[in-house]
Structure 1
């Protein structure tokens, strides 16, 4: 009796303490002017019909839910996980979980097990086939040779295929490249690049690259790439489609996520509006499954790389209030997404303020005919900074090209600047449904070189600065220039020859003055054709 009293008392105290950690972030005033289709969360579609049940575990806000959506068991708590598909059409979910009656309830998560679950439907229900091993926050990806990697905090499992009965546990190697690691290496997320290499984003928002997904991950950035806003960020998810990279990161304290895009995975733009917030899981009749927390977002992609479904780890209450044997628990849910249109700009010359017309091709797809299904007058095209607010270029006329449709827009008001890599379209179908998409520009290099420097090493005997520079991009670099600054002054500079992808060169630079040494703070700036490619500050001395 006394033991149960104190257990209940501690649980209540923990809930009160954790409740103080939940806050509502104020939104920018301009977000009030966003049109439908501006926010990533506008892409969420109703959950597929399934088996509804009430009088099951969970608060009143999640009763009458689809119990066959994702993975759910009365005796298990689940968290994290994403889906891969095999050639036989089966869907494989790699998810972690623990017995619901485990001591400490949800806070037993450090002892979780990774399970392999299978379904005939993308939305589930998923049934456990076998366990892979201990681990938490899994994310699965397929290597170029077909092997499957399941990342977990502090390591990964690897097997020949999704159905392998035996998985080998290993650990990644990381090279910070003289940069500070941003908030540690946990909750990693991965995107396969066009050459089979992998880009990884860690929880803190640092970007890393591995040549094959298993070899050493090299840190490229020296600061987080997340939006420059107040937030307690975690649970990034990154993916690449046939046009660009996408990144969503969650502010767990504010319960709001942000959506970003990039052409190279290093330099990002942030779109206005929420990527997701609690309440984005709804039924066709409008009923909402109001889960308290939506975390560990993952995406399932179509053959063009477009996200067609998002998976979430959800819980019906504050994590610390989920105690063993109570009515609270967690599961993984599946929410479909509007995948968007396949678009391309036909203008061969860069679009500027003087461009008279912009031609955009809308590609036909099974079940979608742009020639009959598009409300032409509703379309707006241009930079997301314009289109998301209902502005942008307006359509002038159309013409057919096979089954595709070419829409000719006025060049006026597009807002497209020289750094634009994927202008946006928003509109409606003739039935009033949302249309959106991002267009490929024929004059943009979507596989640029990525020159990146290590910390300069000063050789006192030779009086030289040794500087290693590598190309982590997918194409050969152009002749470039580098400057090394110390104490706010340029102390050395030099030329960088063209480098092939993954090639490295070491420069020997003669510094001006004597304000250099092993403990000096250096800033290195790399420019190509006058445009800055990298600027990194090395505050700490490099290890010898």
Structure 2
């Protein structure tokens, strides 16, 4: 009788362990997002937005809640030596529609908060004396020498501004150079005009400091680029689009890649905008053997903007993700969001965009990814 009981218990344990393994196997990046703790009351009235984003915490991230002046987009969080959090982002006057605002009036801006979740206070333009503050696809970072850097692209060839202090002033350091295609097309780094005789602006540029002391760029194409000689380059294109060897994934209309290093791995998340789906890849050296790790998040299936009380904000578009890494792990993501379809934001109306901060369990995520890598060896 006892042998039968032992056999039954063993069978139950085997089934349970199999189920757990199956559940672990299908985990994706989206499973590690955490509920947002409100920084104030969730507000229904007196703020912009469709019902799908009400009520919401107007103290989360960066927004002009009464839409008197600005719409916000892009951005990356940088922590200074005094423990304050800075978002270097872009904004445009609310009189513009979304479609006109980002390419007619977008300017580089700076906001600061005591709490990573917000509220972030707009401190003004980053480079008001350079092209009247013009900037888009704006992100910030700390350089290897400790200085603060802000990068802009899309509307410009791809510039880097630097400052000794988090609050500026930021001065133009120069344009990013990509001089060695390394056997790949220069179109992986810059837009190409219809005549294919000229390469223009960079787009969606994300710059990160590699642990080996080099600088790395991921632009719109997702092709990795490496500089041995500082943040301006020249950069070498080290590979093709990371998704090219996965024909089952969309091969066009991809954008907004973000890159980070945590848990001994390099990670890229990019967005396929027609399906509002973002995909996750990882690599052990950040250059070769990028492996598809599943859906990072999908607007129509996963609700990542969930508060601790269960309230959900269902933003219509979720774009421009960037990861904030501290002590070796991602702790938060930020997203650019808008409450309606972009063509429905007419300007000087009750629709707008903002930057939202979402907490993330990076410790558990890196542990999970470590297990995947060990199983592949």
TM superposition score category, shorter chain reference: 0.7 to 0.9
**TM-score, normalised relative to structure 2:** 0.79
Q: 1:58 to 1:208 in 2, by over 3 A?
A: same
| Change in CA separation of 1:381 and 1:164 when aligned onto 2, cut-off 3 Å | closer
CA distance in 1, matches of 2:78, 2:304: 23
Match of 1:190 in 2: 207
| Structure-2 change in CA distance of 1:342 and 1:47 (3 Å) | closer
CA contact (8 A) 1:190 1:239 kept: no
2: CA distance, partners of 1:204 / 1:76: 29
Change (3 A) 1:327 1:85: same
Output one character per residue of 1:435-493: Cα deviation in whole Å (capped at 9) or x when no partner.
xxxxxxxxxxxxxxxxxxxxxxxxxxxxxxxxxxxxxxxxxxxxxxxxxxxxxxxxxxx
- Contact 1:159-1:168 within 8 A present in 2 as well: no
Q: Are residues 1:141 and 2:144 paired?
A: no
Structure 1 residues 47, 220: closer, same or farther in 2, change over 3 A? same
C-alpha change, 1:311 and 1:261, in structure 2 (3 Å) is: same
Q: Given that residues 106 and 136 in structure 2 are in contact (C-alpha distance below 8 angstroms), is that contact kept between their aligned partners in structure 1? A: yes
**CA apart distance, 1:342:** 9.3
Q: Which has the larger radius of gyration?
A: 1
State the 1:271 CA deviation: 1.1
Secondary structure of 1:122's match? coil
Name which of 220, 233, 255 aligns with 1:203.
Answer: 220
Q: Output one character per residue of 1:110-147: Cα deviation in whole Å (capped at 9) or x when no partner.
A: 12111110000001110011311210011112111112
**Structure-2 change in CA distance of 1:169 and 1:106 (3 Å):** farther
Distance across 2 between alignment mates of 1:173 and 1:273: 32
Number of residue-to-residue matches in the alignment? 319
Instruction: Give the Cα separation in 2 of the matches to 1:256 and 1:321.
Output: 21
Q: Which residue number in structure 1 is paired with residue 61 of structure 2? A: 70
Equivalent of 1:224 in 238, 241, 244? 241
Q: What root-mean-square deviation, in Å, do the aligned CA atoms of Structure 1 and Structure 2 show? A: 2.3
Q: Distance in 1 between matches of 2:152 and 2:339?
A: 24
> How does 1:420-499 map onto structure 2 within 5 Å?
420=377
Return the match for 2:314 from 268, 286, 290: 290
Q: Deviations over 1:162-192 (max 9, x none)?
A: 1222422521111223421226331111221
| Contact persistence 1:82–1:311 (CA under 8 A) | yes
Work out the CA distance in 2 between the residues paired with 1:47 and 1:382. Answer: 27
| 1:242, distance to aligned residue in structure 2 (A) | 4.6
Structure with greater proportional strand content: 1
Check if 1:244 corresponds to 2:262: no
Q: Is the 8 A contact 1:146 1:161 kept in 2?
A: no
Distance in 2 (alpha carbons) for counterparts of 1:128 and 1:234? 27
Deviation at 1:87, TM superposition (A): 1.4
1:296-315 to structure 2, matched below 5 A, reads: 296-304=320-328, 306-315=329-338
Gaps spanning 5+ residues in structure 1: where? Answer: 1-32, 344-361, 363-378, 385-413, 421-544
Gaps of 5+ in 2: 1-21, 127-132, 192-201
| Maintained 8 Å contact 1:36/1:42 | no
Question: What is the 5 A alignment of 1:133-532?
Answer: 133-153=133-153, 154=157, 155-168=159-172, 170-175=174-179, 176-180=181-185, 181-182=187-188, 184=191, 185-211=202-228, 212-221=230-239, 223-226=240-243, 227-228=246-247, 229-230=249-250, 232-266=253-287, 267-277=289-299, 279-304=303-328, 306-341=329-364, 382-383=371-372, 416-417=375-376, 420=377
- Mapped contact 2:163–2:171 kept (Cα < 8 A): yes
Q: Distance in 2 between matches of 1:36 and 1:242?
A: 18
3-state SS in 2 of match to 1:271 = strand
In structure 1, how many angstroms separate the alpha carbons of the residues matched to 2:370 and 2:118?
Answer: 37
Distance 1:40 1:336 in 2: 13
On the 8 A contact 1:191/1:199 being kept in 2, the answer is yes
Mapped contact 2:263–2:370 kept (Cα < 8 A): no
1:499 aligns to what? none
Of residues 38, 42, 47, the one that matches 2:27 is: 38
- Is the 2:277–2:295 contact (alpha carbons within 8 Å) kept by the matching residues of 1? no
- State the partner residue of 1:117: 111
- Work out the CA distance in 2 between the residues paired with 1:342 and 1:99: 38
CA contact (8 A) 1:34 1:273 kept: no
| Match in the other structure for 1:91 | 85
1:107 to 95, 100, 104: 100
Q: CA deviation at 1:336?
A: 0.3
Q: Distance in 2 between matches of 1:36 and 1:383?
A: 8
Q: Which has the higher helix share?
A: 2
Aligned to 1:525: none
What is the DSSP-based 3-state SS (H/G/I as helix, E as strand, rest coil) of the residue aligned with 1:108?
A: helix
Provide the C-alpha distance between the structure 2 equivalents of 1:54 and 1:72, rounded to a whole number of angstroms: 15
